[in-house]
């Protein structure tokens, strides 16, 4: 059965996940001329892009382990086909979208379109190490707050306040307050705490935890790459731009790998801010030691903190109010 891609030409990453999870092969038509079809085969995790045979040239893709090109016969017509399979299929999906755009929107022949797209996306199929999904969501949350603060403070002050990339205990340092940002894509407001001192306030300073819930979005959301681009544009020409690039590098973000992060997100709920005080449900080194727990042999410390049902602090700092994805 042939399905039609949405009006923005290509399946969203969520739409692709739907077809991969369906368990049966699907053919999705991509609107435009010449005809183009995305073939999704969930079993072997294989994606194929087919367009009519335009000339007897196939691109040489032998350097790419998970990629192949061929001429196939389908519905009594000869087609050019580019195929990606295995673990690389999901991450390489934007490559196929780019090839289709080059053929349909730019009028390029199949072989030229493929080689041009591969040149732009070479790092995707080379399996360069990308951020883990958890790291992607975590950086997305921190950048959301960076962008929010830039609307209220000078770029220099915001970069000075963003301390997480520099290995500090807490993500942001604003005035006499420290702020820990926790982001999740879960339906529950559950966050992983991975350090015994992460939720321990510094003497003489208040500590706030901002809980951010995101969910997958379509055209109305922002990707991690979108957020980076948005902030970079805001900082264009400002001396703070260099500090921003340095901090991104410390978080293992590379501009030439932006296409590895096509997923778009929107807020699932309004971000909630909690005062991390003696009543806050945290496990810390101080609390455990005071309770008589011997931590001298503990080498790893990680626990899940579910904040559902906990009432956010009404007098949270004004700088943390009205956070949105715009």
Please give the Cα distance from 143 to 145 (Å, whole number).
Answer: 5
Residues 6+ apart with CB under 8 A from 48: 38, 39, 41, 81, 82, 83
Average pLDDT over the chain, rounded to whole? 89
User: Max alpha carbon distance in the chain (Å)?
Assistant: 77
Q: Pick the residue with more confidence: 288 or 219? A: 288
How far is C-alpha 94 from the chain's CA centre? Answer: 14
Question: pLDDT exceeding 70 applies to what percent of the chain?
Answer: 94
Query: Which residues does residue 224 pair with via DSSP β-bridges, in sequence order?
Result: none
More reliable by pLDDT, 45 or 123: 45
What is the C-alpha to C-alpha distance for residues 35 and 32, in angstroms, rounded to an integer? 6
Q: Is the pLDDT of residue 5 over 70?
A: no
In the predicted model, what is the mean pLDDT of residues 285-295?
A: 92
Task: Of 56, 1, 5, give the one whose Cα is nearest residue 218.
Answer: 5
CA gap 26, 44 in Å, rounded: 13
**Does the pLDDT of residue 133 top 60, yes or no?**
yes
What Rg value do the Cα atoms of the chain yield, rounded? 24
- Residue 261, pLDDT score: 84
Name the nearest CA neighbour of 213 among 288, 285, 266, 158. Answer: 266
d(C-alpha 234, C-alpha 326), whole Å:
14
pLDDT digits (tens, 9 = 90+) for 174-210: 999 999 999 999 999 999 998 888 999 999 999 999 9
pLDDT of 7 reads: 44
- For the cut 70, the answer to whether the pLDDT of residue 2 exceeds it is no
Whether 125 has a pLDDT exceeding 70, the answer reads no
The answer to whether the beta carbons of residues 214 and 265 sit under 8 Å apart is: yes
Exposed e or buried b per residue across 16-49, where buried means at least 16 C-beta atoms within 10 angstroms of its C-beta:
beebbeeeeebbbebeeeeebbbbbbeeebbbbb
pLDDT in tens, 200-217: 999 999 999 999 999 988
pTM, rounded to two decimals: 0.66
> 59 or 259: whose pLDDT is higher?
59
Which pLDDT belongs to residue 128?
58
Going by C-alpha positions, the residue among 205, 171, 174, 218 that lies closest to residue 191 is 171
CA separation for the pair 255, 120 (Å, rounded): 12
> Quick one: average pLDDT of 267-284?
94
What is the pLDDT, as a whole number, of residue 210? Answer: 96
Residue-wise pLDDT tens digits, 80-108 = 999 998 767 777 888 999 999 999 999 99
pLDDT in tens, 29-54: 999 999 999 999 988 789 999 999 98
Q: Does residue 288 register a pLDDT over 60?
A: yes
Listed in sequence order, the residues at least 6 apart from 280 whose beta carbon sits closer than 8 Å to its beta carbon are 199, 209, 274
For residues 139-165, one letter each, b for 16 or more C-beta atoms within 10 angstroms of the residue's C-beta and e for the rest, the string is bbbbbbbbbbbbeeeebeebbebbbbb
> Does residue 6 surpass a pLDDT of 50?
no
Mean pLDDT of 243-268: 88
């Amino acid at each position: 059965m042939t399905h039609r891609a949405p009006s923005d030409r290509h399946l969203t990453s969520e739409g692709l996940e739907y077809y991969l999870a369906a368990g049966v092969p699907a053919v999705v038509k991509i609107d435009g001329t010449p005809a183009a079809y995305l073939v999704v085969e969930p079993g072997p995790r294989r994606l194929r892009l087919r367009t009519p045979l335009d000339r007897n040239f196939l691109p040489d893709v032998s350097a790419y382990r998970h990629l192949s090109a061929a001429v196939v016969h389908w519905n009594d017509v000869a087609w050019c086909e580019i195929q990606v399979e295995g673990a690389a299929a999901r991450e390489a999906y934007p490559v196929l979208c780019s090839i289709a755009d080059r053929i349909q929107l730019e009028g390029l022949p199949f072989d030229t379109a493929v080689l041009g797209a591969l040149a732009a996306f070479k790092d995707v199929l080379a399996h360069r190490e990308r951020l883990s999904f958890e790291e992607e969501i975590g950086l997305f949350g921190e950048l959301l707050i960076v962008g929010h603060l830039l609307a209220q403070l000078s770029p220099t002050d915001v970069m000075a306040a963003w301390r997480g990339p520099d290995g500090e205990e807490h993500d942001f340092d604003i005035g006499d307050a420290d702020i820990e940002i926790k982001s999740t894509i879960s339906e529950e407001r559950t966050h992983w705490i991975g350090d015994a001192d992460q939720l321990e306030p510094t003497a003489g300073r208040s500590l706030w935890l901002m809980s951010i819930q995101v969910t997958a979005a379509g055209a109305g959301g922002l990707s991690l790459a979108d957020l980076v681009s948005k902030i970079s544009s805001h900082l264009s020409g400002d001396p703070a731009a260099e500090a921003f690039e340095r901090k991104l590098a410390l978080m293992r973000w590379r501009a030439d790998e932006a296409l590895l992060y096509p997923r778009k997100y929107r807020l699932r709920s309004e971000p909630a801010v909690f005062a991390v005080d003696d009543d806050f449900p945290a496990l810390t080194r101080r609390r455990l030691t005071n309770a008589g727990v011997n931590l001298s042999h503990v080498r790893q410390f990680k626990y899940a903190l579910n904040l559902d049902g906990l009432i956010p602090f009404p007098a949270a700092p004004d700088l943390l109010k009205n956070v949105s994805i715009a």
